[in-house]
Amino acid sequence: MKHSRILILAVLAAVVSCQGRKTTTVGSTPETEQRIERLLSRMTLAEKIGQMNQLSGGGDVANYAEAIRNGQVGSILNEVDPQKVNEFQRISVEESRLGIPLLIARDVIHGFHTVFPIPLGLAATFDPDLVEQGARMAALEATAQGVRWTFSPMLDIARDPRWGRIAEGSGEDTYLDARMAEAMVYGYQGRQPDTTSMAACIKHFVGYGAAEGGRDYNSTFLTERQLRNVYLPPFQAAVEAGAMTLMTSFNDNDGVPSTGNTFVVKDILRGEWGFDGLVVTDWNSMGEMIVHGFGTDRKDVARKALEAGVDMDMMTYGFLSHLEELVKTGAVKEAAIDDAVRNILRVKFVLGLFEHPYVDAGKAAAVQYAPDHLAAAQRSAEESAILLKNDGVLPLKADAVRSILVTGPMADAPHDQLGTWAFDGEKSHTVTPLKALQERFPGKVTYVPGLRYSREKRDSFQDVVAAARRADVVLVFLGEEAILSGEAHALADLNMKGSQSELLAALKAAGKPVVATVMAGRPLTIERDLPNCNAMLYAFHPGTMGGPALTNLLFGDVNPSGKTPITFLRTVGQAPLYYSHNMTGRPYNGETLLDDIGMEAGQTSLGNTSYYLDYGAYPLFPFGYGLSYTQFAYSGITLDKAVYGPEDEIRVSLTLANTGDCDGTEVVQVYIRDLVGSITRPVKELKAFQRVTLKAGESRNLTLTVPVSDLAFYGLDGVKKVESGDFQLWVAGDSASGDPVSFQVE
């Protein structure tokens, strides 16, 4: 078996290499590998199987005490009370036969107590350093309470905004997702493991974001080539960054549920990438294989999951109840269980849990909401907001404002502003836009909610309109409540819910400048709303510090720099629409739309290309798009060579100028296109980006590099390589701008 061979090799390598050197993907040393072997040799079969069992805590410790004492639990999820965590650990370390500490897990997705913007918002920053910093702070807060394992980052490429979990990932692009993946892994785990390291869990392996119709948990039909070229690279990047754990997804791909998918888990993850961390199922995803019709009963699916390469069962009790019998009847080999236990113990050892199983409960509170955490959360919210429209009304001039109307369902929504996965965020700590504006402009803010929550319907907005007439400027906060995105929360209609569009139209009619800020878990279809505001900022769910961040943006203390991590659709019927689609044989070239089609027009009179008769071919905003209060000009884009070898680096030089009258930050993006391949290739692919801050009027020469090896893909022969031939390259501020320069790879 490939997997066992790899483990034997890893152990041998560990033995022969010098002490202290890391030899495994999760960063264990040869010494650690020896400790694992020694411990494993002392374990009974039942104790091994116990390690493979994860239970949900969050209740009375006494309910779990006996199972832990008996060595039947390897991990507890959903317990964040430091005293209870210590008690769980005490029972495991002091009262179980072998004293193996527990792995305490939690969904710490975009912050722990200090809530950062939702991951889709974090991706809009195009700022991996900041994202790493935020993840580090989340780890500091969570580990102070005993949580040493987070089920994050979610690396599911998502190209259908109907899917509610689009909020939890980095959007549609493989390259951006991979950079965010590395940043979060480094942040959670720390560059060097210590007691503040929280093991990352890259999820959901794999393809989960491609659910048919955007309906959560739904089937996917991704070919091996799509998996390898689009969906797997972020996972591989995260493994290379040292991610300690991985979660199998709920979905079946081409008929095979991930938790029983030997090809992706055992062959690719373990075999090709050499991953020797811990693979956990999603919540009861082992049991759900029975519902899928992929197994007859719990015993059957437990065997299938183990054979696929799963190490730990989250909440099915399948391993705990059946593995012993399966070994005894010879249906599974104890060696497979040994492999799984090695992977689990490896993570526990690398995290230092054997040396430091307890936390100092008395010190935990001081770490939460630390001033630097709040500052980083605010900066993340500032960088994640995308300016989608501005007729010049923004930035507002603080000195000139005498009266501000604040309205809309998201203006003072301390719970909903936190977003979908904020289990531990407390709304009492949220600073809403209303609160921040009232603090900054005492006596000048009038608040009329208009709608109490995003789904509310109203026929008349007389009260709001009357207040708008009396104000200098209207700041309206729209969007969707947190409950409308996230797990299981798919939508078929992406227009603003309730009477929000009507509220906006009524405000516009009042005749005062209207600035709309949208807080949402996905890119909503806002085309009909744009004409009814003078400016629009798209803030996703910005987290604890959203209020001050948005105030700074609206009043120009901070210049917006966020860029769309996902294509914004004009209408939901366009989904899925993403910038890096393959070239069709009949690309759209601006042909006849519905209103121009005459009666009884001939079937072939419309040009026969790929587009919608009613909506054309283009989105509302392309990937990578976002305005600033200043303007940037790109010039002098040149490559260092015309022809590159496979080992070369492409060095692209340019001059970026801030041609406006305020300082600003641009996200410079490099896209390439491989013109002819053994298979059709995407029309554009992001290959590099860089945030560049320039003073008003400043110009800077920049050089960005793209290793030619990054142009490799899995072609017709299924082998990853760079195919020689002609390429184009763009450097621009979004995926739809710029002129291409040509180069060749030989």
Q: How far is the CB of 527 from ligand NOJ (least distance, A)?
A: 32
Q: How far is the CB of 199 from ligand NOJ (least distance, A)?
A: 13
Residue 463 a catalytic site member: no
Member of 47, 87, 107, 141 binding ligand NOJ (CB under 6 A): 107
Radius of gyration, alpha carbons of the chain: 27
**204 vs 563 by CB, closer to ligand NOJ:** 204
- Longest alpha-carbon distance in the chain: 84
CB of 652 closer than 8 Å to CB of 703? yes
Q: Which residues pair with 741 in a beta bridge?
A: 729
Q: Determine if 283 is a binding residue for ligand NOJ (CB under 6 A).
A: yes
Q: Which residue is nearest to ligand NOJ (CB)?
A: 151
Integer CA distances (angstroms), 164 to 246, 284, 414, 726, in order: 21, 20, 20, 39
**DSSP states of 20-72 as a string?**
T---STT---HHHHHHHHHHHHH--HHHHHHHTEEEE-SS-THHHHHHHHTT-
**421 vs 713 by CB, closer to ligand NOJ:** 421
Site string for ligand NOJ, 64-93 (x = CB under 6 A): ------------------------------
**160 vs 282 by CB, closer to ligand NOJ:** 282
**DSSP states of 327-356 as a string?**
HHTTSS-HHHHHHHHHHHHHHHHHTTTTT-
Q: Which amino acid is at 159?
A: R
Burial class (CB in 10 A: 0-12, 13-18, 19+), 600: exposed
Q: Determine if 424 is a binding residue for ligand NOJ (CB under 6 A).
A: no
Q: Determine if 674 is a binding residue for ligand NOJ (CB under 6 A).
A: no
Q: Can you read off the two tokens belonging to residue 557?
A: 């203390």
Integer CA distances (angstroms), 495 to 21, 213, 499, 501, in order: 55, 17, 10, 8
**320 vs 406 by CB, closer to ligand NOJ:** 320
Q: Which residues pair with 651 in a beta bridge?
A: 705
Q: How far is the CB of 455 from ligand NOJ (least distance, A)?
A: 24
- Dihedral angle, C-alpha 83, 84, 89, 95, nearest 10 °: 110
Q: How far is the CB of 128 from ligand NOJ (least distance, A)?
A: 22
CB of 270 closer than 8 Å to CB of 321? no
**281 vs 407 by CB, closer to ligand NOJ:** 281
Site string for ligand NOJ, 143-182 (x = CB under 6 A): --------x-------------------------------
Q: Which of residues 532-561 bind ligand NOJ (CB under 6 A)?
A: none
Burial class (CB in 10 A: 0-12, 13-18, 19+), 152: buried
Q: How far is the CB of 283 from ligand NOJ (least distance, A)?
A: 4
Size of the site for ligand NOJ (CB under 6 A): 6
Q: Which amino acid is at 127?
A: D
**334 vs 487 by CB, closer to ligand NOJ:** 487
Q: How far is the CB of 164 from ligand NOJ (least distance, A)?
A: 11
- CA end-to-end span of the chain: 38
Member of 156, 182, 282, 416 binding ligand NOJ (CB under 6 A): 282
The residue annotated as part of the active site, out of 282, 300, 412, 734, is 282
* Rounded distance between C-alpha atoms, residue 163 and residue 491, angstroms: 7
* Rounded distance between C-alpha atoms, residue 119 and residue 121, angstroms: 5
**123 vs 200 by CB, closer to ligand NOJ:** 200
**487 vs 591 by CB, closer to ligand NOJ:** 487
Q: How far is the CB of 32 from ligand NOJ (least distance, A)?
A: 27
Q: How far is the CB of 579 from ligand NOJ (least distance, A)?
A: 27
Member of 267, 307, 487, 698 binding ligand NOJ (CB under 6 A): 487
Q: Identify the helix (H) or strand (E) that includes residue 486.
A: none
Q: Identify the helix (H) or strand (E) that includes residue 358.
A: none
Q: Which of residues 197-236 bind ligand NOJ (CB under 6 A)?
A: 203
Give me the active site residues, please.
282
Interaction site with ligand NOJ (CB under 6 A): 107, 151, 203, 282-283, 487
